[in-house]
Structure 1
Amino acid sequence: MPLDAKALGRALHEDLSLHSTLCRRDAGAFQKAIRCDQEVLVACTQEQRLFAELGLQTEGAVAPIRFVNIRETGGWSRDAAQASPKIAALLAAARLPDPPPVPTVSYQSTGRLLIIGPLDAAEQAAALLCDVLDVTLFTQGPGNAGGAQARRHPVLGGRITGLTGWLGAFDLQWQADNPIDLDLCTRCNACVAACPENAIGLDYQIDLSACRAHRSCVQQCQAAGAIDFQRAASAQQERFDLVLDLRAAGAGPGFVQHALPQGYFRWDGRDSAALFRLRELVGAFEKPRFFVYQQRLCAHSRNASVGCNACVDICSAEAIASDKSHQQIQVNPHLCVGCGACTTVCPTGALAYAYPDATQLGARFRTLLSTYAAAGGRDAVLLLHSQDRGQALVGELGRAARLGLAHGVPAHVIPVALWHTASAGLDLWLSALAYGAAQLVLLSTHEEAPQYLDGLQAQMDVAQDIWRGLGHAGTPVQWLRATSAADLDTALQALGRTARSPAVAARFAVAQEKRSTLALALEQLIEHAPLPAAQRPQAIALPAAGSPLGSIEVNKDRCTLCLSCVGACPAGALQDNPQLPQLRFIEANCVQCGLCASTCPEDAIRLQPRLLLAPGRQQPRVLNEASPWACVRCGKPFGTVQAIEAMLGRLSGHAMFQGAARERIKMCSDCRVIDLHSSPHETKAMDL
């Protein structure tokens, strides 16, 4: 790699020494460095295991060690000679502190494995796993050749009615409705030979639709007593730690979601990777609790009305469910896979990504982009990819470039590994653009759930409309689809260098609160937009799908100022006025959840997705107001003329609201009580 130690040192404000064969000839320099108490950064991940072992073997080593890959990500590329700004940025970001610990989710597995499928295939899989795991089979037909005669494992049979759970807690429900008791069956095959309809297979289950009640099998099985057609079907349930499913996806009750629960595997009989992973899943395990939920911010439901359902719809693990009775959502942390898609589509920030959180990811973006610019880099493109398949593709591309088979990652493209590509959304994208990114590219490896692509594309459309509305050219955020290193190389070269960074880079820090970050990024982008203020529209229209920004329109002829919408608004965008009958609105707070519209009894509210560029986004404005109604007894204002008149009109024919009762509708609450107690007729009725 054509590394320039002096240039990198200037960018990082340090005096750097370069060791080109550190993992072999210069290992002593590494050992010397880790004897100090300062953090040591190793800019290579190829020999991470070797360095870790050297650290353990070096006497007096106290320095914490970090690793970063600059080889495949930039040093091995045809642009490597121009990659110093990018390498400096990667080095600077690698020195950021690790995310602080978060609560964890625990799993406990004793190795009880359930294998579901044809008996012959299930027994073949069991033979590869039974030395480590405690195997139980659930037969789903005999298979091509039937099962082995020797019963090596417990065998269950019947009709599966349910399969739920996760690693260490899978619950299987089935209906034991077959006449043959597999615990009593000796597999002598006498019943199979005796059945004239061939209704009994080598899984020793009877196909009742083919059976003609000859009962020859019962006579043959008198000694074992395993067959009883009079046995009542019974519901059974058992718990397992792991599940290996040999059925085709969707063939019977099971898991069909895109992100399968941990501990559940499908196997086609060829790929052995699932079997190897199963063997490792015995013991206690932990994972981060990837999300934080704040019900007070949630726009899912209010007043028995459903507003935002974005997180429920996008979750590929089916870990999020609606809980309308408590006006909230429920997230199952054991099913959550940490993709973060729910947090990116959440308009309020009620669901937030916790590991790493938004502040840490924002600091990473800002460090990468500011260091890149300080080192002389221009028009940086952030390539956001998953830390699994996406990172593997970037590595494959770098190695292909080293062999001259590919161009490699361009010098202005900075790869950024995320837990999942869906874990960063509109607020962080706009922040990165404000920090100086010319473009963000999301790498799709075709392993993402379809709803992820739809949800992120909706946010991309919003970003695009904002970007263009402010006078920028190009596409601020886009997909880059690749399934191989060659695909990735072609797509990266097609990007070119047409996108340009904003003229002024932001200095704000990403906040943990999503709406605060969104407001800061928008303020920066609007203030430094290339389109002069005089030429900008008053507002930029945004797509209805995916927009967390906008206004509402109120039909004043319909609105009675009942203010039910104020109580339903989860973001404080709709407000009343304690002194006057007014409906007020703060546009910057509106999340376009639609709860106000669904709650309004008069159907007087319509959503208007947009970004208001004119001053006043954060100031309340009056959407509707009316003359107050004055109490006919004391003159104190209460309610509105429109509301009281509407009430009088609706109750005009009601027998209970005639005469004095009708007049009380025109009174304030205090005067109603006084009038009720002062009325002789009603006082006598109350005494009675």
Structure 2
Amino acid sequence: MPLQAQTLGKALGEDLTLHTTLCRREAGSFQKAVKSGETVVVACTQEKRLFSELAEQTEGAISPIRFVNIRETGGWGREAEHAMPKMAALLAAARLPEPEPVPTVTYKSEGRVLIIGAIDAAERAASFLADAMQVTVFAQGPGNAGGSQERRFPVLAGRLQSLSGWLGAFDVSWDASNPIDLDLCTRCNACVAACPEQAIGLDYQVDLSRCTSHRDCVKVCEAAGAIDFTRDARPQTERFDVVLDLRGDKASPTFTSHALPQGYFRWDGQDLQTLLKVRELVGEFEKPRFFAYKQKLCAHSRNEQVGCSACIDICSAEAVRSDKSRQQIVVNPNLCVGCGACTTACPTGALTYAYPRPAEQGTKIRTLLSAYQAAGGRDAALLLHSQDKGQALIDELGRGAQLGVMQGVPARVMPVALWHTASVGMELWLSAVAYGARQVMVLLTTEEAPQYRAALMEQMAVAQSLLNGLGYTGVHFQLIEAKTPSSLDADLQHLTARNLKASTLPTGPAVAARHAVQAEKRSNLELVIDHLMAQSPVMAQDESTRPKALDLPAAGSPLGTIVVDGSKCTLCMSCVGACPSSALQDNPLQPEIRLVEKNCVQCGLCAKTCPENAITLQPRLSLLAERQQPRVLHGSPPYACIRCSKPFGTLKAIETMLGRLAGHSMFQGAALERLKMCGDCRVVDMFTDENQVRIAGANPSKPQ
């Protein structure tokens, strides 16, 4: 693997020493470095465990240690000699501090595991776990061999009614309706032999569909008293810490979500890794609380109307639900698996990814690109991938390149590991382009839920339309779907090979952005758009010839305007009250609906709240300066009281009301005219009208 210490050191602003056997003969240099107190970056992940143990054994070691892989990601590849800028970028990013700590979610497990399935397979699985856990079997038929003669584990049976929960808190309910009580059954097999219909199997349960009530089984079981056909069905509920399900994903009841709850496993009877994972789940466990929620920004519900449900629709763990009565969504942190898809889909930033935070992820991307450019790199491309299967594919690709059977990761492609590829969306992709990236690719493997792909495609379509509309040519965003290293290799070479003509490469801003990624999603998006517009070839055109707005795809667009049908709108201001982002505003001086277009998230709450169906959404990006200022969408002259001339409503609203009530028997003559008065004058008129019907004994001069 070619390494140029001087080139890398110059790009990083420090003197670098090249070590070839740091984990062996040169270990003393590592031990000296970890005593310095400064961050130590080790460009080797293969020996991460060894270096960590060596640091623990080194007296006076106080330095934080970061590990980064520059071998499979760059050094092992056909373009390794051109990969120095990428290596410098990866080393620079590795020096960044760890993400700020966040609140955690705690699970407690005492090792109570429930195994559901045919009794022969369930007892076999139980034998692998019984020495480490408290095992209970829930028998679902005898299987091929039936239960063993030795009853080693508690066995439950019956009709499963529900299964819910998570690690440490799985609630299972069932009806114990079978005549055979497994707690009393001694497995003597006398009932099996006595039954003339062969309705009793080796799971020691009666198949009532085959039983014809001979009751021979009852007679042979008199001593144990385990069989009673008069026993009432008994609803049962019990809690377990872990569930091992052998029934397959078509069974019912079961978990139907793509991302299964922590502590729930499906086992095919072959993969022993699953059983090893189950055995480890005894004790107390923590995970980050991956999300942060700000209800005041949420566009889910207002006025009993549901607007945006993007987070609910996309969650693969079914951890997000609607609480319409409180105008919010609720995320169950115990079910959340941290994929971040909800935060990517959220148009307002009400849900944000917390570990790492968007600003921390943005800092990493900015550091990668600035270091790459400082080291002389050109036409940078980012490859966003998961740190599980995505990382494994990249490692295998690098190994294949070292063996000469693959090309390897191209020199201008910088892999960026994410907890999940769905955790980063349009605002950070566009930020990467603003910082100097020419391409942003997202690697999908087999671990993503189907709805993630659809959501990422929608956001890529919006982001690509925005860039192309601003005059940046080419395809900047790509989804790569790969199951094998060879297919990933082929896609990367096709999209990013060095021999591509410059004319085919996507274009970007001539000057890279310098702003930091903001904590708020909308603020960050606005900063990026402002920079892209400032550098845009389209905005450089004469104002009279350039477009006033760019149309964007309707699906997934968080940008746009609304159109108000003035012939229907009564200026009731329901839309203003429903708007969660303060995009819609009223005018305290006169009846008007105004829009600050940059704030509009296209959630649709205004359209669903409008009683006159007068509002239509229009996804777009306005290129006018007025997108940041209130713009009048609709206005109406005020309606003046016919008695005192005080304005008390809008002309449109009063005329609409008069038109609808004109034929009503209660609003004829003076009563209809009274609707044209303000509230005060209406009361006065009622008590001065001699023809007005009054309650007997009421004094007109003293209203009751």
Q: Pick from 568, 580, 596: which aligns with 2:606?
A: 596
Give me the CA root mean square deviation.
1.6
Q: Separation in 2 of the partners of 1:589 and 1:37?
A: 46
Matching residue of 2:31: 31
Q: Separation in 2 of the partners of 1:167 and 1:328?
A: 26
User: Shift in Å at residue 432 of structure 1?
Assistant: 0.8
1:649 maps onto 2:649 in alignment? no
Matching residue of 1:446: 446
Matching residue of 2:21: 21
Q: Separation in 2 of the partners of 1:402 and 1:377?
A: 23
Q: Separation in 1 of the partners of 2:388 and 2:314?
A: 21
Matching residue of 1:282: 282
- Partner of 1:322, secondary structure, is strand
1:196 maps onto 2:196 in alignment? yes
Q: Separation in 1 of the partners of 2:628 and 2:5?
A: 49
Q: Partner amino acid for 2:404?
A: G
1:542-601 CA distances to partner (integer Å, 9 max, x unpaired)?
A: 111101111111111111111111111111111111111111111111111111111111
Matching residue of 2:597: 587
Q: Separation in 2 of the partners of 1:284 and 1:678?
A: 78
Q: Partner amino acid for 2:613?
A: D
Q: Percent identity?
A: 66
Q: Separation in 2 of the partners of 1:420 and 1:159?
A: 38
Matching residue of 2:535: 528
Normalising by structure 2, what TM-score? 0.95
1:366-397 CA distances to partner (integer Å, 9 max, x unpaired)?
A: 00001101111001110000011111111111
1:95-137 CA distances to partner (integer Å, 9 max, x unpaired)?
A: 1111111010000000000000000000000000000010000
User: Shift in Å at residue 256 of structure 1?
Assistant: 1.5
User: Shift in Å at residue 664 of structure 1?
Assistant: 3.8
1:511 maps onto 2:518 in alignment? yes
Matching residue of 1:209: 209
Alignment of structure 1 residues 157-556 onto 2, 5 Å? 157-496=157-496, 497=500, 498-531=505-538, 532-534=540-542, 536-556=546-566
1:477-516 CA distances to partner (integer Å, 9 max, x unpaired)?
A: 1111111211211111111343344321001111111111
Matching residue of 1:129: 129
Q: Separation in 2 of the partners of 1:601 and 1:207?
A: 59
User: Shift in Å at residue 620 of structure 1?
Assistant: 1.2
Normalising by structure 1, what TM-score? 0.97
Partners of 1:379 and 1:501 within 8 A in 2: no
1:612 maps onto 2:625 in alignment? no
Partners of 2:302 and 2:605 within 8 A in 1: yes
- Partner of 2:330, secondary structure, is strand
Matching residue of 1:668: 678
1:454-494 CA distances to partner (integer Å, 9 max, x unpaired)?
A: 11111011011112111222211111111121121111111
Q: Partner amino acid for 1:511?
A: Q
Partners of 1:378 and 1:501 within 8 A in 2: no
User: Shift in Å at residue 59 of structure 1?
Assistant: 2.4
Q: Partner amino acid for 1:533?
A: Q
Partners of 2:112 and 2:134 within 8 A in 1: yes
Q: Separation in 1 of the partners of 2:199 and 2:703?
A: 82
Partners of 2:472 and 2:508 within 8 A in 1: no
User: Shift in Å at residue 671 of structure 1?
Assistant: 3.7
- Partner of 1:72, secondary structure, is helix
Q: Partner amino acid for 2:533?
A: I
- Partner of 2:628, secondary structure, is coil
Q: Which has the higher mean CA deviation after the structures are superposed, 279-288 or 390-399?
A: 390-399
Partners of 1:341 and 1:422 within 8 A in 2: yes
Matching residue of 1:637: 647
Change in CA separation of 1:180 and 1:629 when aligned onto 2, cut-off 3 Å: same
- Partner of 1:187, secondary structure, is coil
Q: Partner amino acid for 2:55?
A: G
In structure 1, the gaps of 5 or more residues are none
Q: Separation in 1 of the partners of 2:567 and 2:11?
A: 63
Q: Partner amino acid for 2:255?
A: F
Q: Which has the higher mean CA deviation after the structures are superposed, 659-668 or 127-136?
A: 659-668
- Partner of 1:105, secondary structure, is strand
Q: Separation in 1 of the partners of 2:47 and 2:673?
A: 88
- Partner of 1:120, secondary structure, is helix
Q: Partner amino acid for 1:630?
A: A
Change in CA separation of 1:432 and 1:305 when aligned onto 2, cut-off 3 Å: same
Q: Partner amino acid for 1:634?
A: C
Partners of 1:425 and 1:456 within 8 A in 2: yes
Q: Separation in 2 of the partners of 1:670 and 1:229?
A: 79
Q: Separation in 1 of the partners of 2:392 and 2:12?
A: 28
Q: Separation in 1 of the partners of 2:61 and 2:248?
A: 53
